[in-house]
Structure formats: C-alpha cells, structure tokens
Structure 1
Amino acid sequence: MEVLYLLCSVISTTLTSSVLSLLLFFRRLLPYSPSGDATNSVALYEGTVWHERRRPVLHSFKYSVRYAFIDLDLATHPPPGHLSAQQARGISQTNGPVFLLTIPPSVGYEQNPLSLYYCYDVEGLSRCLKKCIAEVTNTPWGERVQFLFNPNLDAVAKPLHVSPFMDMLGNWSLKTSVPGDNLLVKISVNHPKLGDYFTASLIASRISSSSIQHAVFFWLMPHKVAIWIYWHALKLWWKNVVFIQHPRYENPSYKKDATTRDRSLGCCPAFATETNNQLQGEQSNHKDRWFRWIDAKWPWC
C-alpha cells in the first residue's frame, strides 16, 4: 500500500512541478527587482550535506544544498506550516529575534529533512543564541517532529522514524554554530548495539543575495534532495541493510516511549515549561523536553 502512496505522490509532484516550472520560465523573462522583504528578511546559504553510516555496512555520500535563513520577525510572508517567531519564543523562553533555516518549497513541492529555528536572547545592546528548535521531517511519510535543544551540544532520544533502515533505539547528538558568514550543523547517532554509527553534517557559506531571484535559486532544490534520499535508500537495500517497518504498525506508543527514553538520558538542558502546553499536539510537562509531533499529509495520512 505504501508503494502505491509513493507512486501517487511522485505522479502528482511531477505534474505540478512541470506546470509551475514552465510558468517560472516565463516569469524569468520579466525584469526582476527584489522586494524589500526579500532583501531584508532572507539570507541565502549554499553548502554541502554529508552522511556517513559505519555499521552494519559502510556507506557515505554528500550533495550540494541551498538554504534560506529567514528572519521570522521581518518576513511579511513566513513559510506556511512552520512556527511563527512568537510561537518559537514561547517554546524556547527567549526574548530576542528568531531565524528559520530551511529549504523553501519549489514549484509546488517541499522536501525538508531538517529545519532549524535559532532563538536569541537580548540583554541591552547584545544578543546571544540561547536555544534552537529542530523540525525533522521523515521520508517518504512526511511526518514531522519539533523539539527544543541546546545549540552548543545536546542529546535527544530519537523521536521519529526518519529512515526505514534505522530503528528507534538511537539517541541523536546535535550541535550548531552561530550562523554568520559560515554555518555548521552536526548530528550523530548513538545506538545501544551499533554504537556511534551514523553522522550527518551541513557545512554552508552565506552568499550575496541582492540580485538573486529566490524562486530561481531554489528551483528543484527539494526535488534534488528527494532524489538523493531515494537513491541512497536503494543502495542500502542493495547492500542488504535490514528494512524496518514504521513503528506505528507494531508499536503505536513509540512517541510516548521516545519521551520516556529522553527523560532517562538525564543530560538534557533544553526542557520545556508548563507555559508551553497551549500548543496543540505537544507532548510535554514541566520535567520533559518539549516535543511536538505533526501528522503526515496526503497521501500518507
């Protein structure tokens, strides 16, 4: 059944993206003058994503990627489906600006394995990065999980079935630099049986964006990410890595289990407070890290 859903999604995306790409081509023939919102609220990053799996087989790859770094307080049209600046401040208990690092949708398609919210505190004339919110989307299901973490270094119990070639028992170790001219995001996975067996990183540099048309800059970027994901999933299957069913079929309580495992880590400085309970769908209390799961859209719902 999931193969049929995937086929429907591919056909729908192909048709929609083809039509919108054609319209984009004709719009490029018109003179382009960036709006004040695009110039002031969005910075552009270009870099490389690198993945390495060390067990049970060795498999690594890298691909070029482009990201938008959006000032959510200045953006006239923030990306739909994401947190607002005010929501992010409420979750992180910060008082300063909030920036969203994400791959924007392109010609009707969105594929964003990881988006990050950078939440700052302001004291006087200075500001510092205090907390981050990760927003992880799994492929091909399109489910999301959002959670709070310390950007300097944090350990989080895996809360989402991200890959059909990984079980739910690992812990994620996350860290990110303060975005400037350069940006680094690093995630590693520690597993009770496989140890420190997986690492992923994003290394990117900020580029001048005053004369770049954003729709052209990100054209087919989500599609390219999806192709890389599916291609290397096929390679892992060819290498006889065990295919693991989504836990919702065998363990419907996997979200609650992740919260319990996260609590047992005992090293997590990014915890929620009782004031965060207003957001719909979250699973948190005063002792737990803030998590929020978002169900998949059509055709996976």
Structure 2
Amino acid sequence: MLPKNLSRKLMESSCLYKGKIQHARRVPKEHIFSYNIYYFYINLDELVSAKDDSFLCKYIHKRFKRPMRYGEGDLKSAIVNLVRQRLDLEINGPIFLLTQIQNMSFVFNPISVYFCYDKEFQLKSIVSEVNNTPWNEQHCYCVPVGENETVMDFNLQKDFHVSPFMSMDFDYQWLISHPGDSLSIIMHNLKEKEIYFSATLKLKRLKLTLWNLMYCKFRIPLVNFKVVFGIYWQALRLWLKGVAFVSHPKKQG
C-alpha cells in the first residue's frame, strides 16, 4: 500500500527519518526516558550501485557496516533468501533498511528493520535484526505482512536475550506503521497480557540531502556513541533502583 501524498518514485528513494525514541518500564519499578534520534532509510538497490552515484550515496556506502551474519555477497539477496527460508515468501521488489551507519568508524544498532516489498510496491515482510551488548550477538525476527494493513500488529515469542534487566519469559507485541511521511514502531514486552515494558519510536521523513544530513548531525551529534552510552547509563540507573539483574541464559549455571 503506497502511503498517501508520496509518489512511488519518492518512496523508492533512500531518505532520513528523524524523531524520538522512548523507553517506558512499568514493572517492577517505573523507569521512563526518551531521546532524539535519526536513522538512515536505505534502498538496498541504491546501496549496491552507490559507487557510481551521488556524494550522499557514496557517503552511505563508505560508512555502511554490513551485518556479518549474512556472509559475503549481496545483502539484498541474503534478505530475500532469509524471508524465503523463514516464511516461504518470494520478495521481488525493493528492500529498505532502517538503520544507523558508522560515525567515526563506530556503529551499534540495537535494532535495524528491513521492509521487504513486491514489484507492485506492496509490503510483504518485515525483518527485525536485533543486537545485544556486551555479548555482541544478533538475532532476526521475520514476520509476514497482510494486505491492506494500515498499522501492522505482530505477536511473537521472545527468544533472544537483550537486556540484563529483562528475563526471557515474555511475549512481544509489535505495532509498525507503513513508512511514509512518518514512521512509527512500538514494541511491548508482555507477560500474561500485562505490559511490562514499551519501546516507542516516532519518526518523520526527511529527504536525503546534504543540508538535512548536516542538520541531523548538528542537532544529534555522535548519535552512535550516544546510543551505547545511553544503554549503559540506563542500566546503571535500573541497578541503583534495585531492579534484579538477569544473567544471560547461556551463562546461567
């Protein structure tokens, strides 16, 4: 479904998304914080041809850190194969990646999201690539997208350790809007239908121009370092509040 007020040509171009992320923990201790953030929304076809494209595409290509879990070769083909294996779906259109790229040779993405379309520009699948720290592990969740869904609602079982202050016995509910003028991603951690924790990402689309890129970098400097510092700073605050530490499942015993 093509978002209103955006042409297909514009929708098939890489862009920036800028906005705010909020984490809200309700149980066992309330803990809420938010900060400004921006992401690159990259058409993987443009990433492949970036060497012969504009300065901005070359900028992204040079600083993009390819996830090593997919091995060598074309990243788009790797995602197509992943969706085929997990969901038995064929992706024959563009694939977009919402992610951070390297800043001063460093990047850490708690989550990157692939939006996989067919040739009619219908969204068919979403792949969420989750990373943890300090273990430097990665896990992918693949979900199919139904037709004519304005806001996509996914329910999944948690099967990857992310936070040392959150156990594995949770379910996820993800609410994701179609990327357009705005983009919303909400993730709830549920236990017996009660929301224990929510992460909310609210973003507005910006055209990928040098001016907009410099604006984002000026308003939110060193964003990758800010993300990692924030993870450890908030972990310290949770510990000081007396929230129980949960060992990595593989390290227990």
Residue aligning to 2:57: none
Write the deviation string for residues 80-117 of structure 1: whole angstroms up to 9, x where unpaired: 22651122222332211100000112112112111000
Alignment of 1:70-89 (within 5 A): 70-75=42-47, 76=50, 77=61, 79-81=65-67, 84-89=75-80
Alignment of 1:38-53 (within 5 A): 42-53=14-25
Work out whether residues 206 and 212 of structure 2, in 8 Å CA contact, stay in contact via their aligned partners in 1: no
TM normalised by structure 2 equals 0.76
Measured in 1, the distance between the counterparts of 2:235 and 2:144 equals: 30
Question: Aligned pair in 2 of structure 1 residues 144, 99: CA closer, same or farther (>3 Å)?
Answer: same
Residue aligning to 2:113: 116
Secondary structure in structure 1 of the residue aligned to 2:123: strand
Residue aligning to 2:93: 96
Match for 1:130 among 124, 131, 142? 124
Q: Answer yes or no: is 1:105 the counterpart of 2:96.
A: no
Total equivalences in the alignment: 208
Residue aligning to 2:204: 205
Work out whether residues 150 and 175 of structure 1, in 8 Å CA contact, stay in contact via their aligned partners in 2: no
Residue aligning to 2:195: 196
Out of 73-82 and 231-240, give the one that drifted further.
73-82
Residue aligning to 2:28: 56
Structure 1 runs of 4+ aligned residues shifted over 3 Å read 212-219
- The structure number with the bigger radius of gyration is 1
Measured in 1, the distance between the counterparts of 2:215 and 2:181 equals: 22
Q: Shift in Å at residue 74 of structure 1?
A: 1.6
Work out whether residues 41 and 72 of structure 1, in 8 Å CA contact, stay in contact via their aligned partners in 2: no
Work out whether residues 115 and 126 of structure 2, in 8 Å CA contact, stay in contact via their aligned partners in 1: yes
Residue type of the alignment partner of 1:57: K
Measured in 2, the distance between the counterparts of 1:167 and 1:44 equals: 34
TM normalised by structure 1 equals 0.64
Structure 1: unaligned runs, 5 residues or longer? 1-39, 252-301
Residue type of the alignment partner of 2:124: K
Residue type of the alignment partner of 2:160: L
Write the deviation string for residues 232-271 of structure 1: whole angstroms up to 9, x where unpaired: 11111011000111111127xxxxxxxxxxxxxxxxxxxx
Q: Answer yes or no: is 1:159 the counterpart of 2:159.
A: yes
Q: Shift in Å at residue 210 of structure 1?
A: 1.9
- Please tell me the root mean square deviation across aligned C-alpha atoms, in Å: 2.1
Work out whether residues 50 and 200 of structure 1, in 8 Å CA contact, stay in contact via their aligned partners in 2: yes
Q: Shift in Å at residue 42 of structure 1?
A: 2.9
Question: Aligned pair in 2 of structure 1 residues 189, 150: CA closer, same or farther (>3 Å)?
Answer: farther
Residue aligning to 2:5: none
Residue type of the alignment partner of 1:137: N
Write the deviation string for residues 9-52 of structure 1: whole angstroms up to 9, x where unpaired: xxxxxxxxxxxxxxxxxxxxxxxxxxxxxxx9531111000111
